Amino acid sequence: AKQLGRNQYRLFDEELDRKFIRRMELERDLSRAVAEGELFVMYQPKWDAQTDRISGAEALMRWQHPVLGLISPGEFIPIAEETGLIVPMTRWMLKDVCLKRQAWQEQGIAPFRVSVNMSIRVFERGMLQEMVNEALSVSGLSPELLELEITETIAMHDLPDKAKQLQSLRKLGVTVSMDDFGTGYSSLGNLDELPIDVLKIDQSFVRQSAVHSKQAIISTIIAIAGHLNLEVVAEGVETSEQIEFLLSRGCAIMQGYYYGKPMEAAAMEKWIDDMAH
Ligand code: C2E
Ligand code: CA
Ligand code: CA
Ligand code: CA
């Protein structure tokens, strides 16, 4: 038993070493990823199940590592946030997304908003306003077609400052949505102090929408959105039962694998075309 125990420890050490080495490698390589053109964007549609029309698309970052292959954002975004690389990465992303959305506009595609995830790090040093302005002016995109997805972590420190930054972007016409609502820090307490337009119901609730207690949470979020005059979007929608339930409670906008997985821009164009016919 002692022997086995020691072997298990060794295995555990090796596992830790491997994770540590991978993490160091990713950290080192991520700083070159933007310049080397290794980052790209996938789009996932948001569908209005009431009007049967596309309502929006979320832009999601991907990293094609030259040796390690496709790295998931669940792995590289935390590294980007810890190292501060998320700031130049988001700057690149905003520009790329606005340029693509403007190209779609010129092709005469439906006028849906495209959303970009905003890490809290981007709010530091007043970078957000500058980055959004730059992306809008480079692309010529109308601010009404851009949406920013934030999370409740922005309420953790100096909320008034963040609120001010968001408010000035909203005055421009940019939409702000609260992502993963109900899972983070201080969901309800600060909600009325945050300048937002949309609540996104977290996929953990939607996934379990057959469970009575989760149904109560979903209904409550939809009611709050109604009272505060916010749009509500359900995320992680995978089944027709979930769609039935969400529609019955008054949530019509759906994002999830049921309708479409994140896809590259060209596939998104085809998806929109297919859905229209
Ligand atoms: P998120 O913002 O909550 O994005 C939704 C995630 O759920 C995406 O994962 C999407 O692919 C996945 N998803 C959507 N529908 C379904 C479904 O029906 N079933 C399941 N199982 N999953 C679904 P993804 O693309 O891997 O992104 C993970 C997270 O990484 C994002 O969560 C976001 O927090 C972060 N992230 C991705 N791109 C960016 C970015 O450009 N900037 C920042 N700051 N964070 C990003
Ligand atoms: Ca999001
Ligand atoms: Ca989310
Ligand atoms: Ca999430």
184-205 pLDDT, tens digit per residue, is 766 677 888 889 999 999 999 9
**81 phi and psi angles, rounded to 5 deg:** -70, -45
Could you tell me where the DSSP H helices lie in the chain? Answer: 2-33, 73-83, 86-107, 127-139, 159-172, 203-207, 212-227, 240-248, 265-276
Share of the chain above pLDDT 90, in %: 82
214-248 pLDDT, tens digit per residue, is 999 999 999 999 999 999 999 999 999 999 999 99
Closest-CA residue, ligand 1 atom 35, reads: 73
Helix (H, G, I), strand (E, B) or coil at 117: strand
Closest-CA residue, ligand 1 atom 45, reads: 117
Ligand 1 atom with the smallest distance to the CA of 118 is: 44
Q: Is the pLDDT of residue 3 over 90?
A: no
Q: With cut-offs at 50, 70 and 90, classify the pLDDT of residue 153.
A: confident
Q: Is the pLDDT of residue 8 over 80?
A: no
235 Cα: distance to centroid of ligand 4 (angstroms): 9
Q: With cut-offs at 50, 70 and 90, classify the pLDDT of residue 2.
A: low
Per-residue model confidence (pLDDT) at position 6: 63
Closest-CA residue, ligand 1 atom 17, reads: 236
Among all chains, which residue has been given the structure tokens 């009325």?
A: 192
Ligand 1 pocket at CB < 6 A: 44, 60-61, 72-74, 77, 86, 93, 117, 119, 179-180, 203, 236-238, 255-257, 262
97-106 pLDDT, tens digit per residue, is 999 999 999 9
60 Cα: distance to centroid of ligand 1 (angstroms): 6
Per-residue model confidence (pLDDT) at position 24: 93
Closest-CA residue, ligand 1 atom 23, reads: 236
Mean pLDDT of 12-21: 83
Closest-CA residue, ligand 1 atom 15, reads: 256
Helix (H, G, I), strand (E, B) or coil at 88: helix
Q: What is the pTM of this model?
A: 0.94
Closest-CA residue, ligand 1 atom 19, reads: 236
Of the candidate ranges 42-56, 67-81, 113-127, the one whose mean pLDDT is the lowest: 113-127
132-144 pLDDT, tens digit per residue, is 999 999 999 999 9
Per-residue model confidence (pLDDT) at position 16: 79
Q: With cut-offs at 50, 70 and 90, classify the pLDDT of residue 11.
A: low
Q: Is the pLDDT of residue 1 over 60?
A: no
Mean pLDDT of 76-88: 96
- How many Cα neighbours within 13 Å face the side chain of 215? 11
Ligand minimally distant from the alpha carbon of residue 149: 2
Ligand 1 atom with the smallest distance to the CA of 180 is: 3
Residues with C-beta atoms within 5 A of ion ligand 2: 117, 149, 179
213 Cα: distance to centroid of ligand 2 (angstroms): 24
Per-residue model confidence (pLDDT) at position 276: 85
Q: How far apart are CA 265 and CA 271, in angstroms?
A: 10
The ipTM of this complex is 0.98
Q: Which amino acid appears at position 31 of this protein? A: S
Mean pLDDT of 83-95: 96
Q: Which residue has the higher pLDDT, 34 or 104?
A: 104
Per-residue model confidence (pLDDT) at position 186: 60
107 Cα: distance to centroid of ligand 4 (angstroms): 32
Element (H, E) at 149: strand 146-150
Task: List beta partners, residue 222.
Answer: none
Rounded to the nearest 10 degrees, the angle between the axes of helix 240-248 and helix 212-227 is 50
The closest alpha carbon to 221, from 242, 191, 195, belongs to: 191
Tokens, residue 76: 């590289």
Task: Supply the mean pLDDT for the chain.
Answer: 93
Closest-CA residue, ligand 1 atom 4, reads: 60
